Amino acid sequence: MKSRGLVLLCLLFLFAFSLAARAAERPDRQVAITIDDLPAGAANFMSASEITEMTTKLLTTLRDQKVPAVGFVNEKKLYKQGEVDQRIQALRMWLDYGFELGNHTFSHSSLNQEGLKAWEEDVIQGESVTRSLLAEHKMKLRYFRHPFLDTGRDLESRRQAEAFLTERGYRIAPITLDAWDWMYAPVYDDAKKRGDTKLQSDLVKSYLEYSDSVFAYAEQLSKQTVGYEVKQIILLHGNNLEADHIGELLDVLRRRGYRFITLGDALSDSAYGMPDTYVGEEGTGWLEHWAITQGKPPQGAPVFPQWVSDRAKQLHHPQP
Q: Residue numbers of the site for Zn ion (CB under 5 A)?
A: 36-37, 147
Pick between residue 147 and residue 305 the one whose CB is nearest to Zn ion.
147
Pick between residue 90 and residue 226 the one whose CB is nearest to Zn ion.
90
Nearest distance, CB of residue 145 and Zn ion, angstroms: 7
Pick between residue 97 and residue 148 the one whose CB is nearest to Zn ion.
148
Using CA atoms of 152, 139, 40, 64 in order, give the dihedral in degrees to the nearest 10.
Answer: 120
Pick between residue 149 and residue 291 the one whose CB is nearest to Zn ion.
149
Q: What is the DSSP letter of 266?
A: H
Beta bridge partners of 232: 31
Pick between residue 120 and residue 219 the one whose CB is nearest to Zn ion.
120
Nearest distance, CB of residue 74 and Zn ion, angstroms: 7
Pick between residue 12 and residue 118 the one whose CB is nearest to Zn ion.
118
CA distances from 61 to 147, 169, 308 (A): 26, 31, 26
CA distances from 32 to 40, 177, 224 (A): 20, 10, 21
Nearest distance, CB of residue 289 and Zn ion, angstroms: 18
Alpha-carbon distance of 286 to 245, in angstroms, equals: 26
Angle at the Cα of 106 from the Cα atoms of 261 and 281, rounded to 5 degrees: 80
Nearest distance, CB of residue 36 and Zn ion, angstroms: 4
Nearest distance, CB of residue 213 and Zn ion, angstroms: 22
Pick between residue 37 and residue 120 the one whose CB is nearest to Zn ion.
37
Alpha-carbon distance of 27 to 200, in angstroms, equals: 33
Q: What is the DSSP letter of 67?
A: -
Nearest distance, CB of residue 104 and Zn ion, angstroms: 6
* CB within 8 Å of 147: residues ≥ 6 apart: 74, 104, 105, 108, 109, 110, 111
Nearest distance, CB of residue 24 and Zn ion, angstroms: 39
CA atoms within 13 A on the CB side of 16: 6
Nearest distance, CB of residue 55 and Zn ion, angstroms: 16
Pick between residue 147 and residue 174 the one whose CB is nearest to Zn ion.
147
Q: Which residue, judged by CB position, is nearest to Zn ion in the bound state?
A: 36
Q: Could you tell me where the DSSP H helices lie in the chain?
A: 2-25, 48-64, 84-96, 116-125, 128-136, 155-167, 181-193, 197-225, 240-255, 263-267, 286-293, 306-314
Q: What are phi and psi of 180, to 5 degrees?
A: 55, 45
